[in-house]
Structure 1
Amino acid sequence: MERPASVSTGPYIPPDRSLPEITVKALILGVILAAVLAAANAYLGLKVGMTVSASIPAAVISMGVLRLFRRANILENNIVQTAASAGESLAAGVIFTLPALILLGYWQGFPYLDTLAVAAAGGVLGVLFTIPLRRALIIEGGLRFPEGIATAEVLIAGDEGGRGVRDIAVAAVAGGLVKLAQTGFRVLAGTVDGAVQVGRALFGFGSELGVALLGVGYIVGLRIATLVFAGGLISWLFGIPIYTALHGLPEGVEGYEAALQIWSTKIRYLGVGAMAVGGLWALLSLIRPIRDGVRASWQAVREARQGHQVAIPRTERDTPIHFVLAGTLAMALPLVFVFLHVIDQPHLGASDGTYAATIAFGVLFALVAGFLFSSVAGYMAGLVGSSNNPISGVTIATILTASLLLLVLLGSQIDLQVNAERATAAAATAILIGAVVCCAAAIAGDNMQDLKTGHLVGATPYKQQIMQMVGVLTGALVLAPVLELLFNAYGLGGVFPREGMDPSQMLAAPQASLMQSVAQGVFARSLDWTIIGIGALIAVAIIVADQVLKARGSSFRMPVLAVAVGIYLPLELSVPIFLGGLVSYAAGRALGGRQESSRGLLFASGLITGEALVGILLAIPFALAQSTDVLRLVPDSFASVAHALGVLVFLGFVYWLYRVART
């Protein structure tokens, strides 16, 4: 089966053909889905530390709803998923950071206006910053954007009907049933893991058994999947064993739990150092295309004002660059408001001049770092997809840098052990900066996927950018009350709003806890800078090796951020991605050297669709029952059988994907 024209030769809807995009029904449906998916992902992210990408589920829901109308088209469906996924992505940016202010003891809840201002300003900046990045990354960067391709395949198959729809539907149903059996019924294990100790060295290993990551690996291909997996091996095959050989195991834990604890508290910072260096390298490589894009946009604006407007194809019309700059400056106003309102001068113990300098630093650093890390997040989304985009990693880098600069600005006498109130206020300032950057980066990564989808289906970019704004503002409006509700219902990260609450039902907020520990670690002088430095050196070595390959004209290249992502992410996520890449390669060999087939892409997209949809739907009974065990069908004693069944089912899907992809 040949690839659709949308992927191989040009947009599915050609530039010279116009279809309605932002319609009343698409706008209403996009707003509703953005609100619902933002709320659902807020719960999931606080519970397990990960959110579910909403682009494909929103596209499927949109197709189902819009089919009820006599006139609907693929570009309307694309507009709906664009808005909906923006709401979901904003939830990730908010829940990874703002709960840290509660964990610090700086907030006692989620003030509506403050939460709204941070979420809206950060999210809108993320949209604005993707506008000059679109051509640089999607057209000129040569990146895959796996979930963008998958969403486009789903939309095109739904528009064309036939065998493609069947492939997606079958895979989605199967993937959804696996997710339900794993996360809901618990009859299949969602992960398999273990550990071996050799002397004092501990070797941990594990794999997710969810089929969505298998689909992601198939779409990104073997090269990127291998590099992500290699990054995981750096942490788990070398980092953890060396650390345990030198320092022993942590108290009270053993086996895989010990390996996981060492990775999350120590070795993960290798990835932070690697991503910091890799991000800077990516920015350097993007300077020229971003500069050229901005120049071209300014030139178009000047020619339009002089009456010499050049005809630009509909599918290349971005929001004009002067609107981008005006919008960026406008976002500084709510940031000034929220920094003044949240950062308390008496708690900070600063003079009027130092306090004003701190507020100015916070706003300017958030704007500059927001653009820089939005570029990095967009680049990483192109490599590994938005679901696997380690937004928390770039946020940690932001908080680390901001905290160190605040130490310089406020004076080195700020020490958590000496003056806890001042140190906590300084840490809260760094968290607030990180929250703005995290929202911008989360939106940037997801929106680049959406713009990739739009590029393939033939959407109008500036209309997508408008709907991204709509999705961001919708999410910002609903997230504060949702977070307040969840905090009062469950408690967060060991903090409870009242006495007598059940600790077993608490939402762990793992990412926000990590942000809190980083910010406090800087002011307590307790961070292990040696590990961060080693991670940076690893990144430098990878960059050098990649440049050597480039000089030799090798077809194999080593983008440093792909490896850095693997170092930072749990090995459990890297293994199924690697296996998906192997399936893509094997199926391509079976087809005579082609790297992929249309059926394989559609089937992989269906796996992602089914797991994502069920993952979001499961949040409803979990939230209502205040327990993730509400649908459980088996006792704890069934665990060994569940693990065996989980592995067998997963391997069955590996073979099934290969059989489909080779036809």
Structure 2
Amino acid sequence: MSDNFSERPAAPASKSTVEITVRVVVLGLILSVVMGAANVYVGLKAGMTVSASIPAAVMAMLLFRLFFKNSTILEANQVQTCASAGESLAAGIIFTMPAMILIGYWTEFDYWTVTLVAFTGGLLGILFMIPMRKVFVVDNEELKYPEGVACAKVLHAGEVGEEDGAGKGLIVGGVLGGVVKVVGGFMGLMSGSLETAGIANSRIFYFGGDLSPMLIAVGYIVRLNVAILIFIGGAMAWLIGIPLLGGGLAGDGADSAVDQAYGIWNSQLRYVGVGAMVVGGFNALIAVRHGLVAAIAHLWHGMTGDQDVMQEDTDRDIPSWAILMLGLLCVLSLSMMNYWFTGNAGITLLSTIVMLVMGFFFTAVASYIVGLVGNSNSPVSGMTITAVLVAGALLYLANYTGMDGMVATLGIAAIVCCVACTSGDVCNDLKTGSLVGASPFRQQLMQIAGVSVAALVMAPVLTLLHEHGGGIGSKELAAPQAGLFASLAKGFAGEGELPWRRIGIGVGLGFAILLIDEALKRSGAKFRAHLMPIAVGMYLPFGLATPILIGGLTAYFYSKDKPDKEQDAVLHRGVLFSSGVIAGEALTAVGIAGLAAIGIQSLKLGVPPGMVTGISCLAAVLIVIVFVVMSKPLPQNKK
């Protein structure tokens, strides 16, 4: 395949080429639901999600080739666009809605509230992104969109029949991920983690890691730079911070050393990551200030009729009047939801305004970052933390406290998070569409359809996992972001005390990391010290960072001897296999929870945790690594 793919002008879609058909809509909506359900589990367990665009594109091409020989690349692109909407919406919901359980406002997920938040936040993300398309996708040479370009390469490879082998890798990965979850989560034959801690001179020393093929697959996808940064953040908190703080903050001395380590991290050290994320969020806003101004001007020109009405099909968006009408519908829905939550007109007005303003700003931030480092690496949780802090501070200054203040704060965070997740995904998919000659207008329609359907299944999947998958906040479904947002909301609402000193340390550390990254950038170094992954590593359990690092190292050693221009192609099949592992484990976990809901409980075979379970899980991890390394790269197109 041509090395300068991303620099080629988009091939305009033929007037006779059909993009949206019945089979496209049906398959796109089904995959949107499937990808959404899978990423609900991944986000609750791992604290992050991965982009579904490339796996969805491969699945669309495989199914089309199997059942519809006359399908086109544009049909596959529209299916991928719709399917990825479910994944992006899941990220927005699982980072915030579980916090309503954790603060005690809900005892179970309210179906209509979750659905309304998902639909309204997702729709706003699409609407806010549309006037920014030309600013960030078409006219911006700085943004390379690594995942959007990779997805376009996949679609072109599938058009000439190169993706059959990669599709098989996706299926094999899915089977392996499903088998691992059945053997571990359903039969109890695999342990979930290996961790240890000791106390010396009142200092706690901890080390451990989850035995999860899924997390290794995540590390492979995000690559070595990001994996190392996550591990550095985790090491700063767990390997350095915990020993420095000592055992006095851990609580009951009767707790095990491991429990005391978790206690220190939970009550103190993860807030250092929060402070660093706040710096990252505002730094990103500053970076995209010119794009925001241009997007507002573009939207204004559309409303006043200054734009050329006769646009090419490959340059046509949903019209500005439709954006305005749908936006007003969203505002009305948000106002009703806020009033339903709090019963206070003042909180409703303030919350709605803050939601809209911050949602618009973070649409630009998410679009910029997705263009820079890819959708999987977008620090949406950092943006949401910034939204929580700003919203909580404003509500506190307006003297809104207690449960009403907490609920209003989390409601704002939920909408902003859904907006940021969806807008970043839209931006990424529009880049792919521009490279294959798709119509932005039709892609935006498919995104809206995908969000609409995926929003309907968020609450049922959350309920299944909460009631039959270990429970929100358990070790199996830690929901780290939701727990953090709940703590922040409690602090601002007067229900708890925030460790402002730790947050301040994180702010200072964030500025230091920005300076280090700027120095690396000016020196031309390939390795970058991006702030957000380091901050993410601080507030995630350290057990997640270890397998993610193993996955990043696997990707590096597999491709290190290849020229830079060939590395993406070399790693491509491993990415698809890894995506299969993630989807397979996640969907199986949802299925196991569904079985438990109808009375089919896990088949615990009575094997005690220990050597057998550890060895079996390590074997699964090694299988993942070996399969990835043995995968052959995509053949290159002959030009």
TM surpasses 0.5: yes
Within a 5 Å distance, the mapping from 1:255-274 to structure 2 comes to 255-274=257-276
Structure 1 vs Structure 2: percent identity of aligned residues? 38
The CA deviation at 1:201 is 2.8
Aligned to 2:244: 242
Match of 2:529 among 558, 567, 570: 558
* Cα distance change of structure 1 residues 593 and 521 upon mapping to structure 2, 3 Å threshold: closer
Match of 1:441 among 420, 427, 441: 420
The CA deviation at 1:157 is 4.0
Aligned partners of 1:573 and 1:237: how far apart in 2?
14
Aligned partners of 2:432 and 2:215: how far apart in 1?
19
Asked if structure 2 preserves the Cα contact closer than 8 Å seen for 1:49 and 1:511, the reply is yes
Aligned partners of 2:257 and 2:460: how far apart in 1?
40
The CA deviation at 1:538 is 0.8
Aligned partners of 1:156 and 1:539: how far apart in 2?
41
2:614 is aligned with 1:643: yes
Counterpart code for 2:509: I
Asked if structure 2 preserves the Cα contact closer than 8 Å seen for 1:316 and 1:460, the reply is yes
* Cα distance change of structure 1 residues 493 and 563 upon mapping to structure 2, 3 Å threshold: closer
* Cα distance change of structure 1 residues 579 and 595 upon mapping to structure 2, 3 Å threshold: farther
The CA deviation at 1:281 is 0.5
Aligned partners of 1:490 and 1:634: how far apart in 2?
18
The CA deviation at 1:97 is 2.9
Deviations 1:299-341 (A, max 9, x none): 677776567x5x65x5554445565455434421111111122
Aligned to 2:12: 15
Match of 1:183 among 163, 176, 181: 181
Match of 1:29 among 15, 27, 30: 27
The CA deviation at 1:205 is 3.1
Asked if structure 2 preserves the Cα contact closer than 8 Å seen for 1:399 and 1:433, the reply is yes
Aligned partners of 2:154 and 2:210: how far apart in 1?
24
SS in 1 for 2:567: coil
Aligned partners of 1:633 and 1:233: how far apart in 2?
35
Aligned partners of 2:519 and 2:406: how far apart in 1?
41
Aligned partners of 2:390 and 2:254: how far apart in 1?
33
The CA deviation at 1:279 is 1.0
Deviations 1:584-614 (A, max 9, x none): 4445542355560513222222221343144
The CA deviation at 1:252 is 4.8
The CA deviation at 1:434 is 1.7
The CA deviation at 1:662 is 8.1
The CA deviation at 1:342 is 2.2
The CA deviation at 1:64 is 4.1
2:64 is aligned with 1:66: yes
Larger CA deviation: 361-370 vs 561-570: 561-570
Match of 1:472 among 451, 454, 474: 451
Aligned to 1:343: 342
Aligned partners of 1:507 and 1:492: how far apart in 2?
6
Aligned to 1:131: 130
Aligned partners of 1:489 and 1:650: how far apart in 2?
26
Aligned to 1:289: 291
Unaligned runs of 5+ in 1: 346-355, 415-422, 495-503
Aligned to 2:359: 370
Asked if structure 1 preserves the Cα contact closer than 8 Å seen for 2:595 and 2:601, the reply is no
Aligned partners of 2:598 and 2:141: how far apart in 1?
44
Aligned to 1:501: none
The CA deviation at 1:156 is 3.9
Aligned to 2:506: 535
* Cα distance change of structure 1 residues 35 and 586 upon mapping to structure 2, 3 Å threshold: closer
Aligned partners of 1:662 and 1:506: how far apart in 2?
35
* Cα distance change of structure 1 residues 112 and 638 upon mapping to structure 2, 3 Å threshold: closer
2:587 is aligned with 1:616: yes
Aligned partners of 2:193 and 2:250: how far apart in 1?
26
Within a 5 Å distance, the mapping from 1:352-391 to structure 2 comes to 356-379=345-368, 381=370, 386=375, 389=378, 391=380
Q: Could you say what the CA RMSD is over the residues aligned between the two structures, in angstroms?
A: 4.0
* Cα distance change of structure 1 residues 449 and 571 upon mapping to structure 2, 3 Å threshold: farther
* Cα distance change of structure 1 residues 426 and 600 upon mapping to structure 2, 3 Å threshold: closer
* Cα distance change of structure 1 residues 565 and 106 upon mapping to structure 2, 3 Å threshold: closer
Aligned partners of 2:363 and 2:307: how far apart in 1?
30
* Cα distance change of structure 1 residues 168 and 64 upon mapping to structure 2, 3 Å threshold: closer
Asked if structure 2 preserves the Cα contact closer than 8 Å seen for 1:272 and 1:394, the reply is no
2:235 is aligned with 1:233: yes
* Cα distance change of structure 1 residues 635 and 379 upon mapping to structure 2, 3 Å threshold: farther
Aligned partners of 1:226 and 1:49: how far apart in 2?
17
Larger CA deviation: 401-410 vs 635-644: 635-644
The CA deviation at 1:274 is 1.0
Asked if structure 2 preserves the Cα contact closer than 8 Å seen for 1:215 and 1:605, the reply is no
SS in 2 for 1:195: strand
Aligned partners of 2:224 and 2:38: how far apart in 1?
33
Aligned partners of 2:152 and 2:123: how far apart in 1?
24
SS in 2 for 1:596: helix
Asked if structure 2 preserves the Cα contact closer than 8 Å seen for 1:216 and 1:604, the reply is no
Asked if structure 2 preserves the Cα contact closer than 8 Å seen for 1:211 and 1:653, the reply is yes
Q: TM-score, normalised by structure 1?
A: 0.81
Aligned partners of 2:515 and 2:214: how far apart in 1?
33
Counterpart code for 1:227: L
Aligned partners of 1:211 and 1:141: how far apart in 2?
37
Within a 5 Å distance, the mapping from 1:25-104 to structure 2 comes to 25-39=23-37, 41-42=39-40, 54-67=52-65, 68-104=67-103
Aligned partners of 1:526 and 1:35: how far apart in 2?
39
* Cα distance change of structure 1 residues 258 and 315 upon mapping to structure 2, 3 Å threshold: farther
Deviations 1:548-588 (A, max 9, x none): 44455656543323333333334444444444444444455
Deviations 1:65-117 (A, max 9, x none): 43313432222222223222323432343344334445545456655554443
Asked if structure 2 preserves the Cα contact closer than 8 Å seen for 1:336 and 1:359, the reply is yes
The CA deviation at 1:160 is 2.8
Aligned partners of 1:202 and 1:627: how far apart in 2?
43
The CA deviation at 1:40 is 5.7
Aligned partners of 2:614 and 2:596: how far apart in 1?
26
Aligned partners of 2:561 and 2:443: how far apart in 1?
38
2:495 is aligned with 1:516: no
Counterpart code for 1:243: L
Aligned partners of 1:481 and 1:650: how far apart in 2?
31
Asked if structure 1 preserves the Cα contact closer than 8 Å seen for 2:13 and 2:437, the reply is no
The CA deviation at 1:41 is 5.0
Within a 5 Å distance, the mapping from 1:269-280 to structure 2 comes to 269-280=271-282
Aligned to 1:206: 208
The CA deviation at 1:121 is 1.6
The alignment of Structure 1 onto Structure 2 pairs a total of residues equal to 626
Within a 5 Å distance, the mapping from 1:489-504 to structure 2 comes to 493=472
The CA deviation at 1:362 is 0.4
Aligned partners of 1:488 and 1:552: how far apart in 2?
52
* Cα distance change of structure 1 residues 603 and 544 upon mapping to structure 2, 3 Å threshold: closer
* Cα distance change of structure 1 residues 424 and 79 upon mapping to structure 2, 3 Å threshold: same
Asked if structure 2 preserves the Cα contact closer than 8 Å seen for 1:132 and 1:294, the reply is yes
The CA deviation at 1:633 is 7.2
Aligned partners of 1:338 and 1:21: how far apart in 2?
36
Larger CA deviation: 371-380 vs 395-404: 371-380
Aligned to 1:431: 410
Larger CA deviation: 646-655 vs 177-186: 646-655
Asked if structure 1 preserves the Cα contact closer than 8 Å seen for 2:574 and 2:629, the reply is no
Aligned partners of 1:136 and 1:195: how far apart in 2?
51
* Cα distance change of structure 1 residues 435 and 284 upon mapping to structure 2, 3 Å threshold: same
Aligned partners of 1:547 and 1:395: how far apart in 2?
24
SS in 2 for 1:526: coil
Aligned to 1:498: none
Aligned partners of 2:616 and 2:112: how far apart in 1?
48
SS in 2 for 1:202: strand
Asked if structure 1 preserves the Cα contact closer than 8 Å seen for 2:177 and 2:580, the reply is no
Counterpart code for 2:20: I
SS in 2 for 1:206: strand
* Cα distance change of structure 1 residues 210 and 40 upon mapping to structure 2, 3 Å threshold: closer
Match of 1:451 among 400, 418, 430: 430
* Cα distance change of structure 1 residues 95 and 109 upon mapping to structure 2, 3 Å threshold: same
The CA deviation at 1:380 is 5.0
